[in-house]
Structure 1
Amino acid sequence: MALSISQVSFEHHRTALGIGEASPRISWRFDGQVSDWHQDSYDIQIQRKGQVEDFHVNSPESVLVPWPSEPLESREQATIRVKSAGGKDQPSSEWSEPVSVEAGLLTTADWQSAVVVASDRPTEVNATHRPIYFRKDFLVDPDVSAARLYITALGLYEARLNGQRVGDHYLAPGWQSYTHRHEYNTYDVTDLLQDRENTIAITVGEGWFSGRLGWNERRNIYGDTLGVLCLLAVTNSNGTTTYIPSDDTWKSSTGPIISSEIYNGEVYDTRLEQKGWDSPGFDQSSWLGVRELNFSKDALAAPDAPPVRRVQEHKLVDVFSSASGKTVLDFGQNLVGWLRIRVQGPRGQNISFVHTEVMENGEVATRPLRTAKATDNLTLSGGHDVWEPSFTFHGFRYVQVEGWPAESSLDTDAVTAIVVHTDMEQTAFFDCSSPLLGKLHQNILWSMRGNFLSIPTDCPQRDERLGWTGDIHAFVRTANFLFDTGGFLRGWLRDARSEQKENNYSPPFVVPDVLGGSTATSIWGDSIVAVPWQLFQSFADKNMLQEQYAGAKDWIDKGVLRNEDGLWNRSTFQYADWLDPKAPADDPGDATTNKYLVSDAYLIHSTEMLANMSTALSLFPNAKHYAKSRSKLTKAFQDAWISQNGTLANETQTGLTLPLYFRLFSSPAQYDSAINRLVKIVKGNDYKVGTGFAGTHLLGHTLSEYGAADAFYGMLLQEEDPGWLFQVVMNGTTTWERWDSMLANGSVNPGSMTSFNHYAVGSVGSWMHENIGGLTPAEPGWKKFNVEVRPGGGLNKASTQFISPYGRVSTNWTLDESSGTHGCPEKQKKLSPNGPSATKHASHSEIATWSGGEEVCGGIGGA
């Protein structure tokens, strides 16, 4: 296969319409199979303003390379092609397919005269906000060459043009820390315009902007009035542009959406639909006017992340009766999204849909929802109704239905589950000979999908759904392998930094911060260091790292509350090893490992990461300073927590994992003894998990690093509680918040904090990718990478694929029992990797192939 360029992207955008960068960095991936190839130079061709510019650069770089031309102007479009050349006597690629990039509105002045408008309808400040319908009739000349709609809302919006939905974004503009960063979206609406008479129509719901957030039932955190801001720019073939802004000439009303809340669901009355409200010729005489809201455009920003989209339709699996005789739908998969309903019944009949994740005692289990109703209500028109909610989402597998009309069949044609999440590219694909491990990996994927909805949340179903910083800290290493998170997490980190500045240099527990401030706490606070560092390892984005460096530095220098030794003050609140499996149901923070041992260990690790950040950014005096600080803190940790013979104050799985993984012992003998004690504890616990948030994501990596991968295989394959496969054998289809969110007898954990869709324990995915799959980056961004497979656990084959910033990386191995013994002490089998794969320590600029097998213990060898 010839070498080719498979994808050209800008910054972290696969679709670069309305981006916020005037000089976007360019990346391209390679495809094909060429031995020992490396790029020597590249050519970029840019077509803009009717001119063609050619640039030749002698460089091996192909990820996030500098924009070579003059910066784009607002709304300017350019078309790009890329060609890559190899070294002497090596092939070159053909030109890539042309790809367009277009800047958004780069200054506040580019919004012309557009203002935020709200309805003249009185606002109910302390109640649910009824969605508002806005419309504007306008004329355009027939000779239109291009049209763009730039739009955001104080709330969530859906836009329509001449009766047609605009774009494929849902729950737009998503959730940001709106005070600091309020995203707008750009749509190409050229094909939706018609000659002369046109209508733009927009519905706005409360969403995260003014709806209820958190278990403390706070409302109107960002504002108490729903509004819309938009600008329609229509360009004619002669180059002139006409602007249709949101202003005081618009009209407003209410409609069939009575309420639509994130936690409680949507109430929709089809009898109130106004036919043709979104099209020209509609009688709007009964509609109200609008008023301008005071709104600063300074926070407006183009998105870094892809939008939330409808990514899948999931069919109904079963319809059955609950123990009390109520109708329940089973979709076979715990998912996040909503229902699409097709139904005919008596006018005025109400149907309710209660969404839950599990069944308990033969009924839908609503207790884990706490105060979230998670209920949609649909009132029928008397005709054929097709409906799905607009401004809510649910985490569910089961739906209890009441009021379904007898004349309609309740089947797969009538009800469909719509899966939604931020539409990141999936980059990981995993399979192995263990069906249970394969199912575990699928469950991890589903939990990430459900909780990467605009922000990285803890759970998608109850009265929470918040951006907990400790959760993403634990999961980010796995997340970056499963999906392309480069833009998603870069945007979220911008908010984290903004919120940190207003919280005494400490990242709050949740971002965006809707809890009203947080105290300084390890792990959760350490996310401001760990998440950007892990993101840098995956995507090598130095601009992102530079953006986040000040926040990491502020946390270590000013945010951490220290004692006289520089470690954590012993009076601070700490989550630490949250959800230790032995913690009581009513006290998830009551861990078996001392909170300050955990916190001190993470402080040292964060200090080391900050030193590494400094080196990566060529801030060498800072790197030296933090390396010295790390050494000093390590000595203080040893004095506080490690005895002279090397034992820990807490000899637990987490208590031993952290100093082993963070390298906090003082001698090789102490490391040898500590790993032996950790393995002994693991075996003595029947290979059951004994870690919470602090230790779970590091436990497997620690055991592997010290040659005890076999012990972790025993844990990974443990089917009893607490263990990963217990959730699988209990019919879980996502990963759970607690190891025993469901007890072995099928009842739901009695704790008030019990979710069946949390990604934190899914952090084991990184161990599966790096040990069963054998893939890790050897350099930031995967330009060079390691292949080191560790067979074990009775697995006889596995395949793993990863779409790196440079292209696809894959391993595919089998154990051939008939071929004699292999040097690995666990199984004494021969390792025979099959098919194309990359060499150990391979360079992605050297598109490499490798097959066959060099027999090495614990890994795949290569050239």
Structure 2
Amino acid sequence: MALSISQVSFEHHRTALGIGETSPRISWRFDGQVSDWYQGSYDLEVQKPGKDAETFHVDSAESVLVPWPSDPLESGEQATVRVKSSGSAGKPGTSWSDPVSVEAGLLSPDDWQGAVVLASDRPTEVNATHRPIHFRKDFALDNDIVSARLYITALGLYEARLNGQRVGDHVLAPGWQSYTHRHEYNTYDVTDIIKNGDNTIGVTVGEGWYSGRLTWDSLRNIYGDSLGALCLLAVTNSNGTKTYIPSDTTWKSSTGPIVSSEIYDGETYDSRLEQKGWDSPGFDQSSWLGVRELNFSKDVLAAPDAPPVRRIEEHQLADVFSSASGKTVLDFGQNLVGWLRIRVKGPKGQNISFVHTEVMEDGEVATRPLRTAKATDHFTLSGGDDEWEPSFTFHGFRYVQVEGWPDETKLDKDSVSAIVVHTDMEQTAFFDCSDSLLNRLHKNILWSMRGNFLSIPTDCPQRDERLGWTGDIHAFSRTANFIYDTAGFLRGWLRDARSEQKENKYAPPVVIPNVLGASPASSIWGDSIVGVPWQLFQSFGDKDMLQEQYMGAKDWIDKGVIRNEVGLWNRSTFQYGDWLDPLAPPEDAGDATTNKYLVSDAYLIHSTELVANMSTHLSLTKDAEKYTESRTKLTKAFQDAWVSQNGTVANETQTGLTLPLYFRLFSDPGQYTSATNRLVDLVKTNGYKVGTGFAGTHILGHTLTQYGAADAFYGMLMQEEDPGWLFQVVMNGTTTWERWDSMLANGSVNPGSMTSFNHYAVGSVGSWIHENIGGLTPSEPGWKKFNVEVRPGGGLSEATTKFTSPYGLISTHWTLGGSQSQNDCPKKESAFRLTVQVPPNSQATVILPSSGSEKKRIVVGSGVHEYSSCVA
């Protein structure tokens, strides 16, 4: 296959319309299985409207995040870019890529042309649900239109319409940010919707996270107590002039068919209240109210870093059945996040209710795990043909209890489906192996990530919580960055994390955006300000992101951690510790078997080391020396506090041994061997069942593998009893659970108040699957160089792993056993075959499993490579 450039992107945007960067870095991937190909130079062509194309030649092997070569983009300015790569050592290069457009958004408050935030003149009830508001404006255009852009956001969530058509495909826009620090707006190309003559723009705003009920304490109006809309329609005319239609006090407002729409409680929609044509010219708005201007600083407006939330797929109904009490229940066969789409006809005024739950218990939909969240939608029929889906709510569900469905419409897959929504990141990982339960586990991990990467990384998507818990993403980011391209998503969230940290005495709040108020400094959750940027840097090699987050990491270590006299954690601080240890009682998830301060001290030392590593990558030599020295002193203090002279740890638990092993906290080489043996003995004595919570689970497998005990972890991974990953699978789980036993073996729901069936934290085992069964790890940040080291085991006979790196597709496929000749391997079942695909402009070090003491290492360039060996 001839070498070509398959994708050109700007910063971390696949679609670069309305971005916030004026000199966006450029990346491109390669397509084609070319042998041992490296880039020697590249050419960039930049074409701006009305100007001659500029061509830039650069002698460089870099093809990821290379500098913008031209003048910075101005507000709203567009450029078209093409890329051509030349091979090194006289090898042929690529032809020019297809042209790709990049366009800046509105870069300063003045660029909004006087647009203001509108609120309805309708009175607002205090401490009540905010009814969604329609805003509209009629206007006329009389010039030939070349292009048109709509820039829009809301104090709440919005849907925009022009001339009766929905604008764009974003849902739950603009998403959730730390609004007082960073409030995103979106940019849409509406050239094909706008027209000469009469036009109408309409915007519907719901409360969303901005002013809706949040947290188990039912807090309302956290960011503001009024729904508002801010937008600017910018039309470019053929004569080069621009016409602007800003949101201003000439607009009108009204309510519509959405009576209420709340994140936790669901949407109530009365189709009899629809105002046909309200978003089109010629509509009679005489009964509509006026609007008022809200006080709002445009200084916080920002273009998004992440892709938008979108409707990703329509999931078909799997079954309709009756509950034990005779209620009608829909089963979609998959625990998912989104909402229903219905197509129905029945008597005018009849109300249908839909209660969403993740599981069934005692033959009924299990609403107790939702706590105070109602998760219930109500739809009132118009009497005609109705088609509906909610606008400003979402649910985590597999089952839906339906009441009031009309006899006139059959309740089946043609009348009801589920819409899956999440942030539209590019899926980059695919995994398949010879064990069906392990394949289902990997799918469960992916589905949990989908459901909880909805604008921000949340803990769960169903109950009265759905918050950006920092401990969860700290544990999961290594896995997340492999499954999806999270570069823009987490960069935006980390910007909020840094802003919130500054307001919380240098300690990152436990949830971001912070809606819980002042948050005590706590390890693991606070350490996310170090660990998440570090993992993001390992995956994408983005030094600009690392530089952005460096001061936050330093502030946490230097000022945020509350220390005792030797520099470890003060023993009076609150700590979550090894949260959700499987032995923790249902009523106290923090009552772990490993001392909270042992856990906290270990993570403090690890974070200190990571800050030293960040300093090195940013060429900050003095800082690197400072934090390296601090790590050494803290390690000695840890040993004095927690490790006896013979190497015994104060808590000889799975977590208690994992942390000092993985973070290298013992004083003597022999202690590592002894501690590893004791950890393996613990695992075996426990019947290969998991004994770790948040602190230990995500590194348990990596620890055992690092010290030559991968087989022990395979035993844990393949364990089908509780507590274990496959227990959730054999119990018919289709996402990963919050607790190891969110559902008990008898099919009842765990009695604890925190019992979610869609939490991604324990899915952090995905990183072990990718790195050991798939064999793939970066050997330098960003995957230009990577390692391939498959560790067969667990009874697996075959596995395929695919990963779309910044350079292109990486894949491994291996088999164990088969027809390899006796001369090659004494035992047929020990014959190992491996096929590796390496993308152009990158390099792999392949390390083959071997029955001998020496593993064979082969450094290879791009292309497809095949290997065989004999394993023990």
TM-score interval, normalised by the smaller of the two chains: over 0.9
Q: Does the C-alpha gap of structure 1 residues 769 and 825 become closer, same or farther in structure 2, counting only changes over 3 Å?
A: farther
What is the CA-CA distance between 1:141 and the residue it aligns to?
1.9
Q: Which runs of 4 or more aligned residues in structure 1 lie more than 3 Å from their structure 2 counterparts after TM superposition?
A: 817-828, 834-840, 842-847
> C-alpha distance in 2, partners of 1:219/1:747?
33
> C-alpha distance in 2, partners of 1:822/1:694?
47
- For 1:123-522, what aligned pairs fall within 5 Å after superposition? 123-522=124-523
Secondary structure class of the residue paired with 2:865: coil
What is the CA-CA distance between 1:844 and the residue it aligns to?
15
> C-alpha distance in 2, partners of 1:40/1:768?
35
Count matched residues. Answer: 858
Secondary structure class of the residue paired with 2:867: coil
> C-alpha distance in 1, partners of 2:824/2:415?
58
What is the CA-CA distance between 1:23 and the residue it aligns to?
0.3
- For 1:57-68, what aligned pairs fall within 5 Å after superposition? 57-68=58-69
> C-alpha distance in 2, partners of 1:378/1:825?
69
Secondary structure class of the residue paired with 2:512: coil
Verify the 8 A CA contact 1:37 1:845 in the aligned structure 2. Answer: no
Q: Does the C-alpha gap of structure 1 residues 206 and 846 become closer, same or farther in structure 2, counting only changes over 3 Å?
A: farther
- For 1:94-113, what aligned pairs fall within 5 Å after superposition? 94-113=95-114
Identify the residue that residue 578 of structure 1 maps to in structure 2.
579
Spell out, residue by residue over 1:405-438, the C-alpha distance to the aligned partner (whole angstroms, 9 max, x if none). Answer: 1111101111010000000000000000000000
> C-alpha distance in 2, partners of 1:218/1:698?
36
Identify the residue that residue 17 of structure 1 maps to in structure 2.
17
Q: Does the C-alpha gap of structure 1 residues 516 and 184 become closer, same or farther in structure 2, counting only changes over 3 Å?
A: same
Identify the residue that residue 31 of structure 2 maps to in structure 1.
31
Stretches of structure 1 that go unaligned for 5 or more consecutive residues are 859-863
Spell out, residue by residue over 1:639-685, the C-alpha distance to the aligned partner (whole angstroms, 9 max, x if none). Answer: 10000000100000000000000000111110000000000000000
Secondary structure class of the residue paired with 1:782: coil
Identify the residue that residue 5 of structure 2 maps to in structure 1.
5
> C-alpha distance in 1, partners of 2:605/2:824?
37
Identify the residue that residue 685 of structure 2 maps to in structure 1.
684
Spell out, residue by residue over 1:73-100, the C-alpha distance to the aligned partner (whole angstroms, 9 max, x if none). Answer: 0000000000001112211011111000
Verify the 8 A CA contact 2:819 2:828 in the aligned structure 1. Answer: no
> C-alpha distance in 1, partners of 2:108/2:497?
23
> C-alpha distance in 2, partners of 1:824/1:375?
61
> C-alpha distance in 1, partners of 2:269/2:826?
64
Secondary structure class of the residue paired with 2:63: coil
Secondary structure class of the residue paired with 1:593: coil
Verify the 8 A CA contact 1:821 1:830 in the aligned structure 2. Answer: no
Identify the residue that residue 861 of structure 1 maps to in structure 2.
none
Please say if 1:848 is aligned against 2:849.
no
Identify the residue that residue 569 of structure 2 maps to in structure 1.
568
Identify the residue that residue 717 of structure 2 maps to in structure 1.
716
> C-alpha distance in 2, partners of 1:587/1:823?
56
Identify the residue that residue 646 of structure 1 maps to in structure 2.
647
Q: Does the C-alpha gap of structure 1 residues 43 and 363 become closer, same or farther in structure 2, counting only changes over 3 Å?
A: same
- For 1:770-849, what aligned pairs fall within 5 Å after superposition? 770-819=771-820, 829-834=830-835, 836=837, 840-841=844-845, 848-849=862-863
Secondary structure class of the residue paired with 2:866: coil
Name the % identity. Answer: 79
What is the CA-CA distance between 1:852 and the residue it aligns to?
2.7
What is the CA-CA distance between 1:834 and the residue it aligns to?
3.2
What is the CA-CA distance between 1:238 and the residue it aligns to?
1.1
Spell out, residue by residue over 1:219-275, the C-alpha distance to the aligned partner (whole angstroms, 9 max, x if none). Answer: 000000000000000111111000000000000001110000000000000000001
Aligned AA (2:423): T
> C-alpha distance in 2, partners of 1:740/1:844?
44
What is the CA-CA distance between 1:532 and the residue it aligns to?
0.2
Aligned AA (1:80): V
Identify the residue that residue 52 of structure 1 maps to in structure 2.
53
> C-alpha distance in 2, partners of 1:542/1:826?
48
Identify the residue that residue 853 of structure 2 maps to in structure 1.
none
Aligned AA (1:469): T
> C-alpha distance in 2, partners of 1:850/1:320?
50
Higher mean displacement: 135-144 or 674-683: 135-144
Identify the residue that residue 622 of structure 2 maps to in structure 1.
621
Verify the 8 A CA contact 1:811 1:837 in the aligned structure 2. Answer: no
What is the CA-CA distance between 1:827 and the residue it aligns to?
10
What is the CA-CA distance between 1:849 and the residue it aligns to?
2.4
Q: Does the C-alpha gap of structure 1 residues 492 and 147 become closer, same or farther in structure 2, counting only changes over 3 Å?
A: same
> C-alpha distance in 2, partners of 1:406/1:34?
62
Verify the 8 A CA contact 2:816 2:829 in the aligned structure 1. Answer: no
- For 1:744-755, what aligned pairs fall within 5 Å after superposition? 744-755=745-756
- For 1:689-704, what aligned pairs fall within 5 Å after superposition? 689-704=690-705
> C-alpha distance in 2, partners of 1:518/1:129?
28
> C-alpha distance in 2, partners of 1:578/1:828?
41
Spell out, residue by residue over 1:55-77, the C-alpha distance to the aligned partner (whole angstroms, 9 max, x if none). Answer: 00001001000000000000000
> C-alpha distance in 1, partners of 2:861/2:141?
52
> C-alpha distance in 1, partners of 2:806/2:86?
18
> C-alpha distance in 1, partners of 2:640/2:826?
37
> C-alpha distance in 1, partners of 2:858/2:869?
24
Verify the 8 A CA contact 2:145 2:195 in the aligned structure 1. Answer: no
> C-alpha distance in 2, partners of 1:573/1:145?
60
> C-alpha distance in 2, partners of 1:708/1:600?
25
Secondary structure class of the residue paired with 2:791: coil
Aligned AA (2:865): S
What is the RMSD of the two structures over their aligned residues, measured on CA atoms?
A: 1.7
> C-alpha distance in 2, partners of 1:834/1:596?
46
What is the CA-CA distance between 1:854 and the residue it aligns to?
4.3
Verify the 8 A CA contact 2:33 2:864 in the aligned structure 1. Answer: no
> C-alpha distance in 1, partners of 2:518/2:152?
30
TM value normalised by structure 1: 0.98
Verify the 8 A CA contact 2:818 2:828 in the aligned structure 1. Answer: no
Stretches of structure 2 that go unaligned for 5 or more consecutive residues are 847-856
Q: Does the C-alpha gap of structure 1 residues 719 and 824 become closer, same or farther in structure 2, counting only changes over 3 Å?
A: farther
Verify the 8 A CA contact 1:60 1:845 in the aligned structure 2. Answer: no
Spell out, residue by residue over 1:593-637, the C-alpha distance to the aligned partner (whole angstroms, 9 max, x if none). Answer: 000000000000000000000001000100000000000000000
> C-alpha distance in 1, partners of 2:197/2:591?
68
> C-alpha distance in 1, partners of 2:170/2:818?
52
> C-alpha distance in 2, partners of 1:339/1:822?
60
Verify the 8 A CA contact 1:136 1:250 in the aligned structure 2. Answer: yes
Identify the residue that residue 603 of structure 1 maps to in structure 2.
604
> C-alpha distance in 1, partners of 2:319/2:414?
13
Secondary structure class of the residue paired with 2:863: coil
Identify the residue that residue 850 of structure 2 maps to in structure 1.
none
> C-alpha distance in 2, partners of 1:249/1:227?
15
Verify the 8 A CA contact 1:114 1:247 in the aligned structure 2. Answer: yes
Please say if 1:120 is aligned against 2:121.
yes
Spell out, residue by residue over 1:512-541, the C-alpha distance to the aligned partner (whole angstroms, 9 max, x if none). Answer: 000112100000000000000000000011
Please say if 1:42 is aligned against 2:42.
yes
> C-alpha distance in 1, partners of 2:315/2:179?
33
Secondary structure class of the residue paired with 1:429: strand
Higher mean displacement: 121-130 or 846-855: 846-855
Verify the 8 A CA contact 1:567 1:633 in the aligned structure 2. Answer: yes
Verify the 8 A CA contact 2:131 2:258 in the aligned structure 1. Answer: yes
Secondary structure class of the residue paired with 1:381: coil
TM value normalised by structure 2: 0.97
Spell out, residue by residue over 1:678-718, the C-alpha distance to the aligned partner (whole angstroms, 9 max, x if none). Answer: 00000000000000000000000000111100000000000
> C-alpha distance in 1, partners of 2:804/2:78?
28
